[in-house]
Structure 1
Amino acid sequence: MAVHRPLLIFGLAALLFFAGVQIWMGVQSNAPRIQERPQGAPFVLQSASGDFDLASLDERLALIYFGYTWCPDICPASMMFMAGAMAELPEAWQAKIQPIFISVDPERDTPERLAAYADFFEANILGLTGEADQLEALARSYGAFYRFVELDSAMGYAVDHSSDFYLASSQGELLATLPHANSSNELYRALSAALARLAQDS
């Protein structure tokens, strides 16, 4: 028996090795694939003044936020932060950025309602919306997420949504994702840092 012990050990080691490979391959085949980094996308959406084509910004940039006007707290706060951050920027940079609020609730948010909502924040924010399937695809392309939640109230439903800001070129290229801010100063610092990086790369 002692003569064959090395062969037995080798055989067991080989068996364990190949079993391990099979298990590893099985785990790999069932593992969820990492999604590609959001790239952004060009778009044409509806405003109170008619169709708005992102390409019309030419050399200007868009600071985009996805939300809805019936949002009780996060969206109003985010719009105030956007307005405050824009006001802190030098005038030269203010002229190069168009703040945009895209509603993902087209059933209730008409272009006219969006215009009135955006005007309240006095920061030249442009309110836009579109068809439901178009908005879903657009939000996904920028890395934004939302879902409708039924409510047992007169409101009917709410929309749970992410709360990041997206800096994009007029061609729809996503240049930077600015994390949800808790103040206008925080958003200003993130926006300034993103603009500084873009200036260095150009």
Structure 2
Amino acid sequence: MKVNRSLLYLGALLLLSLAFFQIKGGLDQPNPSATSGKPTGAPFTLTSHQGEVSLSDFEGQLALIYFGYTWCPDICPTSMLFLAKAVNSLPDDLCDQLQPIFISVDPKRDSPERLADYVDFFEAGILGLTGEEDYLAKLAKQYGAFYRYVEIDSAMGYAVDHTSDFYLVNSSGKLLATLPHSISGEELQAVLIQALENQL
């Protein structure tokens, strides 16, 4: 039986569009009911090791955002390696149009300097940011992210349960896509390429 290549191509485009606009949730969602309403994203101003950084500083670019913390033993470093591989695999002209951002929700322990050292390890131009606890809580909710501090019996004192999704936004803070931790590298790269080409 001969397969119509045009139909296959249209089917692939449809699946990609669904991934771009509708992918939600992740493997590490401690409390899905904690966020209410449809997340829209939001503009923000946070702190890096070089001072204040606003999302609007990246006009004409897209940002790929992840909420986590540097003391995370497994999910965050795995996610950052995954993100770095996807970003570094992009064509050079598209890579320049994307700013990966790691937002720490543990400002008590994650100083801007510690964040800078942490993200530099992954060699993908990731920007490490943090801010005041109340501001971070509100911002995370606007993106549909959730986190909570959990006491543990160790020298660390506490851990942070958190969602492990990626959030793709434009420089005005509009949420374009929520990409789950379970997305494959090929799917993530395809979504990024489509979004970035649409920006050009």
2:66 is matched with 65
2:139 aligned partner: 138
Do structure 1's residue 77 and structure 2's residue 75 form an aligned pair? Answer: no
Paired residue type of 2:59: D
Task: Supply the AA of the counterpart residue of 1:92.
Answer: D
The C-alpha deviation readout for 1:78-126, integer Å capped at 9, x for no partner, is 0000100001111111000000000000000000000000001111100
Q: How far apart are 1:194 and its partner, in Å?
A: 5.0
> 1:175 corresponds to which residue?
176
**Residue 191 of structure 2 corresponds to which residue in structure 1?**
193
Q: Match for residue 100 of structure 1? A: 101
Which residue does the alignment assign to 2:10? none
Q: Quote the Cα distance in structure 1 between the aligned partners of 2:102 and 2:199.
A: 27
Q: Give the Cα–Cα distance (whole angstroms) in 2 for the partners of residues 170 and 188 of structure 1.
A: 25
Unaligned runs of 5+ in 1: 1-31
| Maintained 8 Å contact 1:86/1:188 | no
Larger mean CA deviation between 192-201 and 131-140 belongs to 192-201
* Superposition deviation, residue 132 in structure 1: 0.2
SS in structure 1 of the partner of residue 99 of structure 2: strand
CA gap 1:197/1:126 in 2 versus in 1, 3 angstroms: closer
- 1:99 partner SS: strand
Aligned pairs (5 A) from 1:16-165: 35-165=36-166
Q: Evaluate the alpha carbon distance shift between residue 177 and residue 150 of structure 1 in structure 2; reply closer, same or farther with a 3 A threshold.
A: same
Shift of 1:201: 9.3
1:200 Cα deviation from its structure 2 partner? 5.8
Q: Distance between the aligned counterparts of 2:199 and 2:98, measured in 1?
A: 18
SS at match of 1:112: helix
- CA deviation after TM superposition for structure 1 residue 37, in Å: 1.5
Instruction: Kindly provide the amino acid, as one letter, of the partner of residue 122 in structure 1.
Output: E
- C-alpha distance in structure 2 between counterparts of 1:190 and 1:179, whole Å: 9
Offset at 1:181?
Answer: 3.5
SS of residue matched to 1:153: coil
TM-score of the aligned structures, taking structure 2 as reference length: 0.78
Q: Verify the 8 A CA contact 1:88 1:188 in the aligned structure 2.
A: no
Residues 140 and 178 of structure 1, relative CA distance in 2, 3 Å threshold: same
The answer to whether the Cα contact below 8 Å between 1:78 and 1:181 also exists between their aligned partners in 2 is no
Deviant stretches of 4+, over 3 Å: 197-202
SS in structure 2 of the partner of residue 167 of structure 1: strand
Alpha-carbon offset, residue 190 of structure 1: 2.5
TM-score, normalisation: structure 1: 0.78
Tell me, what secondary structure is at the counterpart of 1:152?
A: coil
Taking a change above 3 Å as real, the CA distance of residues 201 and 120 of structure 1, as seen in their structure-2 partners, is closer
Counterpart Cα distance in 2 of 1:200 and 1:157:
42
Larger radius of gyration: 1
Equivalent pairs: percent with the same residue? 59
- List aligned pairs for 1:10-21, cutoff 5 A: none
Q: Is the 8 A contact 1:41 1:174 kept in 2?
A: yes
